[in-house]
Chains A and B, each alone.
Chain A
Amino acid sequence: MPKRTDIQSVLIIGSGPIVIGQACEFDYSGTQACRVLRKEGYRVILVNSNPATIMTDPEFADATYIEPITAEFLEKIIERERPDVILPTMGGQTALNTAVTLAENGVLKKYGVELIGANLGAIKMAEDRELFRKAMDRAGLQSARGGFVNSIDEALKIAETIGFPIIIRPSFTLGGTGGGTAFNMEEFHSKVTHGLNCSPIHQVLIEESVIGWKEYELEVMRDTKDNVVIICSIENFDPMGVHTGDSITVAPAQTLTDKEYQQLRDASIRVIREIGVETGGSNIQFGVNPKDGRVLVIEMNPRVSRSSALASKATGFPIAKIAAMLAVGYTLDEIPNDITKLTPASFEPAIDYCVVKIPRWDFEKFKGVDDTLGVQMKSVGEAMSIGRTFKEALQKALRSLEQGRSGLGADGKDIIDVKKLSDAEKDEWKRKIMERIQIPRPNNIFYIRYGLQLGLTIEQLFQITGIDPWFLFNIRQIVEMEDKLKSEQFEKVSPELLRKAKEYGFSDHQLAEIWKTKEPSVRARRKKMNIIPVYKTVDTCAAEFAASTPYHYSTYERENESVKSGNKKIIILGGGPNRIGQGIEFDYCCVHGVMALREEGYEVIMVNCNPETVSTDYDTTDKLYFEPLTLEDVLNICDHEEPYGVIVSFGGQTPLKSAKALEENGIRILGTSPEGIDLAEDRERFGELLRKFNIVHPEYGTAYTVDNAVLVAEKIGYPVLVRPSYVLGGRAMEVCYSADSLRSYMKKAVDVSPDHPVLIDCFLEDAFEYDVDCVCDGKDVMIGGVMQHIEEAGIHSGDSACVIPPYMISGKTLDEIMEITVKLAKALEVVGLMNVQFATKDNIVYVLEVNPRASRTVPFVSKATGVPLAKIAAKVMAGKTIEELGCKDFDFRKLKHISVKEAVFPFSKFPRTPVFLGPEMRSTGEVMGISDNFGASVAKSQIAANNSLPLSGTVFLSVNNNDKNEVSLNIARDLQALGFSLTATSGTADFLNSHSIRCEKVFKVNEGRPNSVDLIKNGKIQFVINTPLGAVSRYDEYSIGWAALENKVAFVTTLSAAATAIKAIQKIKEGGVSVKSIQEYLKQD
């Protein structure tokens, strides 16, 4: 059946901000869907609140709504746009849940809108575990025993029938939030209670545990003619019990016979038919008992997912794109396979390599959190690698993670050297390791290696971990190879052995450690022996047909398939796995760089290892190398491609780190020189530069020892901001209020980065902060925008809400900020992007930080202004001038609309971690609110960030002495005028009452009961305004913060944020929050 002609317009719902469990894979899928549906001639209407996405670029849809993804806002958009259909399967759980609400509250019926891709019945059957279980029974498939409960009593009844361990899964939560495994009654009690609280419908599933079973996933597609194909099978390295997003996963399945595989395939087909997903892709998870092959269906996602993004990258089959085409009526046999062009999409990809994905966690940012892995996803990103063997792919994936490891150990980072241990120590370590790997945790794989080195057998390790012996055997082979390599001398090693080591995935750095030499020596010797990687092609068909798509990976084999063209080539290095502080924003910049340079006629080559991204879509670039971003891997590609230049400043800190070394290896770095980058990073040199230009900066110093640090801090004066040098995302950054806290910090920080000193800055408490993103071509500077932070200085810029254009700034200060920006860009000889952070206090403008590279705010500024900064920067790096690009006269101050960015935090995934914002970045994503006035933009940003602003009720106030001023009085008066009643701790209450503002008194947390926390927990408070100053009150605030978070009560920590929130509440009450597309906003400017 050809595509539907009865529909003209399609509304696509995005997934909103990046959160744990829902990351940029949905930008990848949504972008594909937008692209293909427009190409098919449909009018595409897109809704997504996340400005950092490629999909929300104005050219990807006919009407792009950067609006909150809630039923209320969707209705406004539907009313305005009158789409024929909604495609809800591209935006993760967020889009599906919103679509369900729209169907159930009658909006779809009212406006005559149809759901395509998955209908309401199918979504509900797949999402509602009770309906799902019944469906599986009908399909003759087994699912785990258990049942749904709405109370602890019901839960206990079911628990009696199944026995421990028991899995607890709350209904309708993201990434399994609030779920867990209980091994005893006590745990069961607390976990069920927590789960019930997390579930929006107060329901949890109590289920038989299949911990230790093998876990598989199949990616399935179905069309309107009921043709069903399996795109990819995925086998989890970690057995059942660990969320698949937190598991190391491998594609294709490795340890299933054909008989077993076909059984899963048949079951998948039955599942998709029974659930009734008419078109598109689904992900189906199975548990398989390793003892007898018994199969259980675990769950099904009736939409594209993180796994389908992985499967797309792993096979070359663009699941989201094809799913979108199927949704508008095409059948699989009518769609050509993108890669072969000549064969149809109605086939099952055959792959001839092994793919390994490893998650990345950022637990170190969340003090005191439980880092064990279970049914609730905790990872923030992932790296994927491709090799011809599992061993090669595993080691490549480990070095792709960029967590300081160069492979599976032997890289100078091992915590033990087994050869140097005494027998007693060996026994001690054996015991420790057996204990450690019982519980799944990040990095357990390194402990498995130690275990093998210490003589634990595959059987023992399998008994402890449940990891399939085949994987353990492959790890043992790597360990054995390491031993063999260690028995050789570097000078005498044979080409055969060195080649074998490379085939096993050993990096030059590991080999250098093994042979006690330097990485460049290994590289030189290897090249002399002509042991260089070849590049194979990902082609969906295992070479059965000729492929025209240049999607490559490296391996050490015979034939090289990557044809080097004679074109002028530019390589863009991507950002690697997502982490807090380096996420989708950098992928956005990379993709823009690719698009811009292709427009300029260059052949653009992308290197990246993050499967969630748009940059690793082979449709995006001229050539894609799915490779780790280490120096070795990048140099290998440069050796082969001989590019004109490499761009390192779009992918965040990852590629930037290699800039110097690449240049030393004769590679041309496009844009700001590594020297310029270094100048900005080096505090001393940068300080000199600032002094030369009479630019003010907060007092600072550098310390190499603990005592030294205390002296420096005393000279500057407390509070001070301390951090190790060379960091991104404020990693390990802290504000210290005393010598004691500084000393305890230093003890940790020196561990973080032993080669680098610790930087100590004066902390400007209560200052305003601004961010500027600009492009410089060496001569002219184009300021993309000046953003004002809503939170005070000292809170990481990535965690602050900010506004463009600034909402509270004098013309003089703004001019000064812009002048300094221009001066700095020229002084650093910036070519490309630069970000500057400023603070103002008492009318003095301070420069806090300069980064001559793409910043996290580039996409936000671009969306707010309509000026594609990253594209302009890329063209400038390739030699164009700002004048030639016609950007010289741009002035963001002329914008008629106001855009607000708000950060989104993962605190609800990490119970009891401090929720107070600080200099260390902890947000995972961002949203944007845009409108013609400040209040409405703030309101939208808060709604989009899922911060519910109250429209009535009681406000709890606790302001510090500095804040007991006219500003807080006005806030209190405004709140009263809006109909809120006030309650406050004694100091604040006295202050308000003395100014004739009526206010109830309530105990502080440590004063007595009922206190403020009790009131929050009892639902008596709808809004918390709590401004602490100084170390002690900050720590007090944690309990209030957690109570607010757990009870979903709005919570602000600065007067400016409070005043902002009030403006938003006023707008909402006035009913002045309407929707408009980005295209319309940009037209009016």
Chain B
Amino acid sequence: MIAKLMLENGTVFTGESFGSEKESTGEVVFNTSMTGYQEILTDPSYNGQIVTMTYPLIGNYGVNTDDIESIRPQAAGFIVKEYSSFPSNFRSNENLGSWLKKHDITGIQGIDTRMLTKMIRSIGAMRGLISTEDLDDKSLLEKVRKVPQMTGLDLASRVTTDKPYAWNKTDTTPFSLPVLKTKEKKWNVAVYDYGVKYNILRRLTSYGCNLTVLPAHIPAEDLLKMNPDGVFLSNGPGDPAAVTYAIENIKKLICKKPIFGICLGHQLLALALGGKTYKLKFGHRGGNHPVKNLRTGRVEITSQNHGFAVDPDSLDSSAIEITHINLNDQTNEGFRHKSLPLFSVQYHPEASPGPHDSDYLFAQFMQMLAKK
């Protein structure tokens, strides 16, 4: 079935549908990972976004029950060059197309995704619309221009958990990383869920944490009543500056609990410390970003997925130490407080998908909890 992709600048791509047959809208972003489409699609940080993979051949290994980062696919739509309906992998239990259809996600193939990527690179992330129903360009353009801008959107509240829950699952697949437990004692860690990826929970559990996952709106006071050993601020979609309630809650936790943040959690922590965030032109999405750890001088190849970034100049340099920078564009990738037990990174040490170079950050969090 014919499907069309319309961008807010009026560019239209015609392709073939391989997902749900309907209309969907979102911010169009590209991801340069060559593997891991299932993890990407289920990552809540992609909520509200239409994702295109720069790698042209997608669907090759199907989908399975293990490689999920949340309960369902979260992206608003999926754009690929060539979809493979014939998966080949011992873990695959269905093909990508039927899975997308089951979860009512649009998918379009036959697109010059390189051209699309270059366009996003030069113009910036754009709003877009995939439709199998309306193929009239004029009408599509009108609709796409009504899609809300990403800046100013609080999407965390859309993907966070309804109610608190305990998590105690580790990675049980044959691919789990070795676990380096620092001690016998188990830490109680409260997780603010702004759209948390399962693998963050799996990794924290592997390192010996008892996790309680909390809805994004839970007041800091309620969290403190639980008296956890530490607090984790999760990744998530949307504009961090729009998640004002979270920033206020985090402010109340600083000085009281050791805190570790990832991605949106990193941005929210910066905002709570008085810093600023800004929207990147087209964001960082992929599994090959070089990040330099300024404390060791070592380079980590990292998994990234963010459209906003922390402005390092907005942070109080007397209190905050920049710990990581992106070597491609020198943007901030991590900081720590010089006296308080809190640190965060912009990228994804939990990988999934992506390289495992930064897994040590979980160990670092454990050391921080031990020192408290």
Q: Which residues of A contact B (CB under 8 A)?
A: 225-227, 229-230, 252-263, 265-266, 290-293, 331-333, 342-344, 346-354, 388-390, 458, 468-470, 473-474, 536, 541-546, 557-559, 561
Note all chain A residues with C-beta closer than 8 A to B297.
225
A293 to B176, alpha carbons, bound, how many Å?
A: 13
Q: Is the CB of A542 within 8 A of B35?
A: no
Binary A-proximity of B75-108 (CB < 8 A = 1, otherwise 0):
0000001101011111100000000000000000
A263 to B177, CA, bound (A): 9
Is there contact, CB below 8 Å, between A266 and B356?
yes
Asked if A350 and B288 sit within 8 Å, CB to CB, the answer is yes
Q: Which residues of B contact A545 (CB under 8 A)?
A: 121, 328
A256 CA / B57 CA spacing, docked (Å): 12
A-facing residues in B255-300 (Cβ within 8 Å): 286-290, 292, 297-299
Q: In the docked arrangement, what's the CA distance between A281 and B89, Å?
A: 30
| B50-67 at interface with A (beta carbon < 8 Å) | 54-57, 60-61, 64, 66-67
Could you tell me if B121 and A229 are in contact, using CB atoms closer than 8 angstroms?
Answer: no
Q: B338-364 toward A: CB 8 Å interface, digit per residue (1/0)?
A: 000000000000011111100000000
Tell me if A's interface is mostly helix, strand, loop or mixed.
loop
In the complex where A257-B36, A348-B301 touch, is A354 in contact with B56 (Cβ < 8 A)?
Answer: yes
Cβ-defined partner of B115 (8 Å) among A266, A333, A557 = A557
Cβ-defined contact, A254 with B60, below 8 A: yes
- The answer to whether B64 touches A257 (Cβ under 8 A) is yes
Judge whether A258 and B33 touch: CB under 8 Å: yes
Is the CB–CB distance between B90 and A473 below 8 Å?
A: no
Question: Is B89 a contact partner of A257 (Cβ separation < 8 A)?
Answer: yes
Select which of B88, B114, B121, B173 is within 8 A of A536 by beta carbon: B114
On chain A, the residues within 8 Å of B183 by CB distance are none
A256 touches B355 (CB 8 A): no
Q: How far is the CB of B97 from chain A (nearest CB, A)?
A: 14
Closest beta carbon of chain B to A536's beta carbon, Å: 6
Indicate whether A347 sits within 8 Å of B118 (C-beta atoms), given known contacts A258-B39, A352-B113.
no
**In the complex the two chains form, is B34's CB within 8 Å of A260's CB?**
no
**A352 and B55 contacting across the interface, CB-CB below 8 Å:** yes
Assess whether B299 is in contact with A332, with CB atoms less than 8 Å apart.
Answer: yes
Top-9 shortest CB links A-B: A258-B36, A258-B353, A542-B54, A559-B115, A470-B88, A473-B86, A350-B32, A558-B112, A258-B35
**Contact at B114–A352, with CB atoms within 8 Å?**
yes
Chain A: CB-nearest residue to B328: A343
Min CB distance A538 to B, Å, is 11
- In the complex the two chains form, is B56's CB within 8 Å of A389's CB? yes
Are A350's CB and B290's CB within 8 A?
A: no
Residue-wise interface mask of B (25-41) relative to A, using a CB-CB cutoff of 8 A (1 in contact, 0 not): 00000101111101100
B144 smallest CB distance to A (angstroms): 19
Say whether A293 contacts B174, CB under 8 Å: yes
CB distance from B269 to the nearest CB of A (A): 26
Q: Does B327 contact A (CB under 8 A)?
A: yes
Pairwise interchain contact A350-B286, C-beta atoms closer than 8 A: yes
| B35 contact from A261, A332, A469, Cβ within 8 A | A261
Residue contact A347 to B289, C-beta cutoff 8 Å: yes
Closest-CB distance, B362 to chain A (whole angstroms): 16
Q: Which chain B residue has the least Cβ–Cβ distance from A350?
A: B32
Contact A227 B121 (CB under 8 A): no
Known: A293-B91, A344-B290. A255 touches B61 (CB 8 A): yes
Q: Is the CB of A259 within 8 A of B56?
A: no
Are A350 and B298 in contact, CB atoms less than 8 angstroms apart? no
Instruction: Report which of B61, B66, B287, B328 forms a contact with A256, defined as CB distance below 8 A.
Output: B61
8 contacts between A and B (CB under 8 A): A258-B35, A290-B90, A291-B90, A331-B299, A343-B329, A347-B327, A350-B54, A389-B57
Smallest CB–CB gap between A541 and chain B, Å?
7
Q: Is B175 a contact partner of A259 (Cβ separation < 8 A)?
A: yes
- In the assembled complex, the Cα of A344 lies from the Cα of B55 at a distance in Å of 21
Q: Which residues of A contact B20 (CB under 8 A)?
A: none
The complex places the Cα of A617 from the Cα of B224 at a distance, in Å, of 61
Q: With a CB–CB cut-off of 8 A, which chain A residues contact B89?
A: 255-257, 260
Any chain A CB within 8 A of the CB of B117? yes
Tell me if B299 and A346 are in contact (CB < 8 A).
yes
Chain B residue nearest to A295 (CB atoms) is B174
**Known interface pairs A258-B33, A293-B174, A333-B290; A388-B67 also in contact (CB < 8 Å):** no
Q: Which of A259, A344, A350 is within 8 Å of B67, CB to CB?
A: A259
With A and B bound together, what is the CA distance between A763 and B333 in angstroms? Answer: 76
Complex-state Cα separation, A348 to B175, whole angstroms: 21
Asked if residues A262 and B90 are in contact (CB atoms below 8 Å), the reply is: no
Is B286 within 8 A of A544, CB to CB? yes
With both chains docked as a complex, state the minimum distance between the C-beta of A859 and any C-beta of chain B, in angstroms. Answer: 39
Residues of A within 8 A of B35 (CB): 253, 256-258, 261
Bound-state Cα–Cα, A230 to B290, Å: 12
Instruction: For B39, give the chain A residue with the smallest CB separation.
Output: A258
Q: Which residue of the partner chain B has the closest CB to A348?
A: B288
Distance of A352 Cα from B34 Cα, bound (Å): 8
Which residues of B sit under 8 angstroms from A348, Cβ to Cβ? 287-288, 301, 355
Shortest Cβ distance from B92 into A: residue:
A257
Knowing that A252-B55, A263-B175, A333-B299 are A-B contacts, what are 4 other residue pairs whose CB atoms are under 8 Å apart, sorted by A's residue number? A350-B54, A470-B61, A470-B88, A544-B121
Q: In the complex, A259→B355 CA distance in Å?
A: 9
Bound form: Cα–Cα A544–B304 in Å: 13
Query: Which A residues lie within 8 Å of B327 (CB)?
Result: 333, 343-344, 346-347
Bound Cα distance from A1064 to B184, whole angstroms: 76
What is the minimal beta-carbon distance from A227 to any residue of chain B, in angstroms? 4
Most buried by B among A331, A470, A474: A470
Inter-chain CA distance A344–B286, complex, in Å, is: 16
| Nearest CB of B to A1046, in Å | 44
A263 to B297, CA, bound (A): 25
Q: Complex formed: what's the CA distance from A544 to B120 in Å? A: 9
A257 to B87, CA, bound (A): 11
Nearest CB of A to B290, in Å = 5
Q: Are A354 and B328 in contact (CB under 8 A)?
A: no
Q: Which residues does chain B contribute within 8 Å of A253, judged by CB atoms?
A: 34-35
Q: Would A257 and B67 be within 8 Å (CB), given that A262-B354, A473-B84, A473-B86 are in contact? A: yes
Please, how many angstroms separate the alpha-carbon atoms of A458 and B86 in the complex? 11
Q: What's the least CB distance linking B229 to chain A, in Å?
A: 29
The answer on a CB contact under 8 Å between A293 and B54 is no
**CB-defined contacts of B36 to chain A, threshold 8 Å:** 257-258
